[in-house]
Structure 1
Amino acid sequence: MLSLPMAFFIIFRYIPMGYIIIAFKKYSIIKSPLEMEWAGNHGFEYFIKAFSNRDFLYAVRNTLGLNLLDLVIGFPAPIILALLLNELAFKRFKRFTQTIVYMPHFLSWVIISGLALQLFAPSTGLVNVMLNKMGFESIPFLNDSGHWVVTYILLGIWQSVGWNTIIYLAAIAGINPELYEASAVDGASRLRNIWHITLPGLRPTIIVLLVISLGHILSSDFDRPYALSNTLVTDVSNVISIFVYNYGIRGLQFSLSTAVGLFQSVVCIIFLFGANALAKKSGERGIW
């Protein structure tokens, strides 16, 4: 049963790592990576070219900014939702609500962007049409950089919060119920139970997921920013994945895009090791 997953990771994850060398060589479609000529500046020509590119620097800034906002605003959201669902007394309503909130996870960002356009378009969107009828001005959800960032973050939370909540609900289910029974005997309120029992029980799970999230601080999905982006907000929507697409696939600069991808991976690994070390210093196990 393990042969197929192992074959998948070996073929599509480990073997392609050998092509990282393209970042240090002049790419040629008719030569293998070992036969390609080394790039200038001791092989670091494309790294220098990337950091000299203003679009790349903007992409790094946008990627860090959006990921930090996702982390600060989006990371606590599933924890809060899991706590709220755990306190629901009606199990059927709890299951129904949980099903509804994690269903957006299965929607592609192409569909979500279409829904966002129908809801938040400046003149024809349902939200702005209702605001105009009530006497308010239209809000440029998708046409203004500041409003676009807020819309981007909130749509990301809406899409992923239910799915991530499942992890925290599973962790809550593993907390010893005798702790709640003892607190009930002592007359503790629900808020006291959450603060002194549920959150400490969730702490190991929160630390592990936080370490993993910090390990992706410079990585970026392609479909989410690309589907929601437009020419009016490119100053905040162009992230590293879109930069790699424009310069690597459309611009056929494969060595440059490989160098950018390698830089991105190295930074993510540094953040991952740093976050894991901090987790261990705080008394948690970390991820290894």
Structure 2
Amino acid sequence: MNAPVSLNGDIPVGNWIDRWIPAPARPYLRLMRLDRPIGTWLLLFPCWWSSALAAEGWPDIRLFILFAVGAVVMRGAGCTVNDIADHKFDALVARTQGRPIPSGAVSVPQALAFLALQLLVGLAILLQLPPFAVMVGAASLLLVFPYPLMKRITWWPQAWLGLTFNWGALLGWAAVTGEIGLPALVLYAAGILWTLGYDTIYAHQDKEDDIMVGIKSTALRLGDSTPAWLVGFYGGTLALVGVAGWLAGLSWAFWPGLALAGLQLAWQVRTVDIDDGADCLDKFKSNRFFGWALLAAIIGGKLA
């Protein structure tokens, strides 16, 4: 019988990493957040949505697989960059003190070497795409590396995260068509608003600690007015996704799927408790279901 999973701050303990992975490798997998896959899903869905939106009929399964592997690797690289930049702050916050770098399980030079390895693997995956898509994918690094600094200089770091995490909306379209079309740009804008919503919810977990260490966020900027802003963020998301689907010529089957995805966002807004960290985390993770619903809507709109 497996031991129950517990938490050391925000690090799951006793899960598959502890059961199946040799001890020397465990801190590196935790540095990649492989045991917390929601971030990978949130990075992956815009790639899948866009490539499905650009496809003629069924999406290209090979591209879906490449994007899935790439999302795992590049989300891990992004987490590594973030943890290198934030390790001194993380050591001051109870929720993050157990992370590999502040806990001493991985040194900064080791993390940098591991980052280089992840970027090489990511490059190898990217080079499987057409040349224009390779350039689009490489350009995303201009957003990835500055991201950890944003929470120090602006109340809206979630907007920069939106620019970064939804780059796949441009990459997916480029991988299929060899260009960036208007539907992809509109989908990218929709994704930015989506990220502003879900990551503002996520940031409400850390309000007290962020104030203590001097980090900024939309959770602190918007405060108790957050639910009203979520209506705007998520309403804008749905409107722009609808425009992208219309521009791409999706059939009637897209619209019921979009409505179902919209109900998931409405549920988040209606039920989130911004003063309950556990509830904020649950709502944040629930965006995986929005991602699947929207993907199904796009594919349905292509096939019906």
Between structure 1 and structure 2, the one with the greater Rg is 1
> Structure 1 length as normaliser, TM-score?
0.29
Structure with the greater relative contact order (CA < 8 A, sep ≥ 6): 1 or 2?
1
> Structure 2 length as normaliser, TM-score?
0.27
